[in-house]
Amino acid sequence: MLALLRDTTTEARADIQLEALTLAVAADLPVLLWGRPGIGKTAALTQLAATLDLPLTTVIASVHEPSDFSGLPVVGDDPAEQGVPMAPPDWAVRLVRAGRGLLFLDELSTAPPAVQAALLRLVLERRVGALRLPSGVRIVAAANPRSSAADGWELSPPLANRFVHLQWTHDPDVVVRGLGGTWPRATLPRLDPEKLAESVDFARRAVCGLLAARPALVHRMPTTETHRGGAWPSPRTWEMTLTLIAFATAAGVSREVLALLVRGTVGDGPGLELLASLDRMDLPDPELLLADPASAELPERGDLRQAALDGVVDAVRNRPQRSRWDAAWALLARAVETGAPDLVVVPATTLASLRREDWDLPESIEKLAGVVALSRRADEAVSRAKDATAKAPR
């Protein structure tokens, strides 16, 4: 009966949490999964280890002494000559012998401060006593929020700043299907060899561009103890973010996966700023759009399409020429045909104000006149409704 109950299969299924975890592990960055007890953190790590064909070594951080991570002193025949070596624990020896593995540090938030301090060198330098863990070993930890942890502690800022923090939640559909015998399967990201150099260059431009414009974000430790135990920006975490952007770009993962990783490394505020700058980097060159408006490819997302059209109008303003003005109108007409018409109202109004006296109106403007007029009438109707509501007796 137990064998039948444990007989399950896996399937390829979209799971952005699992994709983010797998990408961070592939990038050889320490990951910390945050989530309430019983939502499948350990099960996810077990399945990930099986998928990656890595032996799983689980260490419950809270039941170990600091010496279990920093090493136990062993006195030799002549300490004055040979010194006192620090003997590593048996699990570290097994990992070194295997040359590879997935080290799972569970219950990290219940480890006392002395144990957390001992973990610093393990997480960052991969050293346990006198041993250095092989490059084939990956480190993933799990923790419960202090409110749901048994005798929980907040993570120390130095330890927290060494991890990619992922909030682990449960998807009811995944749970139901898994209990039925089919769980989602983790897959290693496939990096496109032809995009490696381009992806690294893109990641460096993205991170360096943001930090050059916002130098205050280079290092900003939170003021509250709880937030210091999570993701926050420092030179170390920005380097981790750069690595994740390069891997994500080369692997072609979704923006949702990248958002989880970026916000889990430098925090929500700086992460959202970086994601917004990445969106701007993806915008098409206004000069290319003006050169061939008939076949221009505009972004599908509304905010990005609006930004691209505004960029085209700014380009015409900076270098006003009749041919460029006409091309911009043709591009706005194409935008109406391929997307939401209301997005062209502001660019069209601004572009009209750039007209010179000797410039005739292009034919394409007729396609936009109705859209602009309709939008203005709608705005006026909304304004009148607000005024009427404000004046109505209460």
pLDDT of 296 strictly over 60: yes
Shared domain for 271 and 295, answered yes or no, is: no
Average pLDDT of the chain, as a whole number: 84
Q: Nearest CA to 241 among 215, 213, 275?
A: 275
Q: Which residue has the higher pLDDT, 267 or 62?
A: 267
Shared domain for 334 and 293, answered yes or no, is: yes
Q: Which residue has the higher pLDDT, 386 or 280?
A: 280
Min mean pLDDT across 114-118, 280-284, 329-333 is at 280-284
Average pLDDT over residues 288-298: 87
pLDDT score recorded for residue 185: 76
Number of domains in the chain: 3
Measured distance CA(48)–CA(187) in Å, rounded:
8
In a domain, 61, yes or no: yes
CA distances to 62, 112, 132, 267 from 118, rounded to whole Å, are 12, 10, 15, 25
pLDDT score recorded for residue 7: 80
In a domain, 165, yes or no: yes
* Residue finishing a domain among 240, 256, 281: 281
Q: What is the DSSP letter of 337?
A: H
Q: What's the one-letter identity of residue 376?
A: R
Q: What is the pTM of this model?
A: 0.76
Shared domain for 248 and 366, answered yes or no, is: no
In a domain, 80, yes or no: no
pLDDT band at 302 (very low <50, low <70, confident <90, very high): confident
pLDDT score recorded for residue 380: 47
Shared domain for 37 and 134, answered yes or no, is: yes
Shared domain for 224 and 242, answered yes or no, is: yes
Shared domain for 174 and 31, answered yes or no, is: yes
Shared domain for 329 and 355, answered yes or no, is: yes
Q: Nearest CA to 92 among 126, 44, 115?
A: 126
Average pLDDT over residues 138-146: 88
Burial label, 293 (beta-carbon count in 10 A; 0-12, 13-18, 19+): buried
Measured distance CA(384)–CA(392) in Å, rounded:
12
- Count Cβ atoms below 10 Å from residue 125 Cβ, excluding itself: 11
* Bridge-based pairing state of the strands 86-87 and 72-73: antiparallel
pLDDT band at 374 (very low <50, low <70, confident <90, very high): very low
Q: Nearest CA to 61 among 2, 103, 12?
A: 103
Shared domain for 295 and 375, answered yes or no, is: yes
* Bridge-based pairing state of the strands 86-87 and 100-106: unpaired
Convert the pLDDT of each residue in 58-73 to its tens digit.
998 888 888 888 777 6
CATH of the domain at 22: 3.40.50.300
Count of CA atoms in the C-beta half-sphere (13 A) of 6? 4
- Which residue has 């509250």 as its token pair? 224
pLDDT score recorded for residue 361: 76
Measured distance CA(113)–CA(70) in Å, rounded:
14
**Range picked from 111-125, 240-254, 371-385 for highest mean pLDDT:** 240-254
pLDDT of 281 strictly over 50: yes
pLDDT of 381 strictly over 70: no
Measured distance CA(41)–CA(200) in Å, rounded:
31
In a domain, 224, yes or no: yes
Convert the pLDDT of each residue in 353-373 to its tens digit.
888 888 887 776 666 665 555
Shared domain for 184 and 205, answered yes or no, is: no
By residue count, the chain amounts to 394
pLDDT score recorded for residue 375: 44
User: SS3 sequence, 138-178?
Assistant: EEEEEECCHHHCCCCCCCCHHHHCCCEEEECCCCHHHHHHH
In a domain, 79, yes or no: no
In a domain, 2, yes or no: no
374 is in which domain, residue-wise? 286-389
In a domain, 1, yes or no: no
Average pLDDT over residues 123-127: 89
Measured distance CA(156)–CA(151) in Å, rounded:
15
Average pLDDT over residues 273-300: 86
* Residue finishing a domain among 281, 310, 327: 281
Average pLDDT over residues 292-317: 86
Shared domain for 174 and 204, answered yes or no, is: no
Convert the pLDDT of each residue in 94-113 to its tens digit.
999 999 999 999 888 888 88
Q: Which residue has the higher pLDDT, 325 or 148?
A: 325
Measured distance CA(385)–CA(300) in Å, rounded:
32
Shared domain for 267 and 294, answered yes or no, is: no
Q: What is the DSSP letter of 275?
A: H
* Residue finishing a domain among 161, 188, 215: 188
pLDDT of 86 strictly over 80: no
Measured distance CA(270)–CA(76) in Å, rounded:
51
Shared domain for 343 and 320, answered yes or no, is: yes
Measured distance CA(232)–CA(221) in Å, rounded:
6
Degrees to nearest 5, angle at CA 378 with 376 and 380? 70
Q: Are 330 and 364 in contact (CB under 8 A)?
A: yes
Convert the pLDDT of each residue in 193-247 to its tens digit.
999 999 999 999 999 999 998 999 999 999 888 888 999 999 999 999 999 999 9
In a domain, 379, yes or no: yes
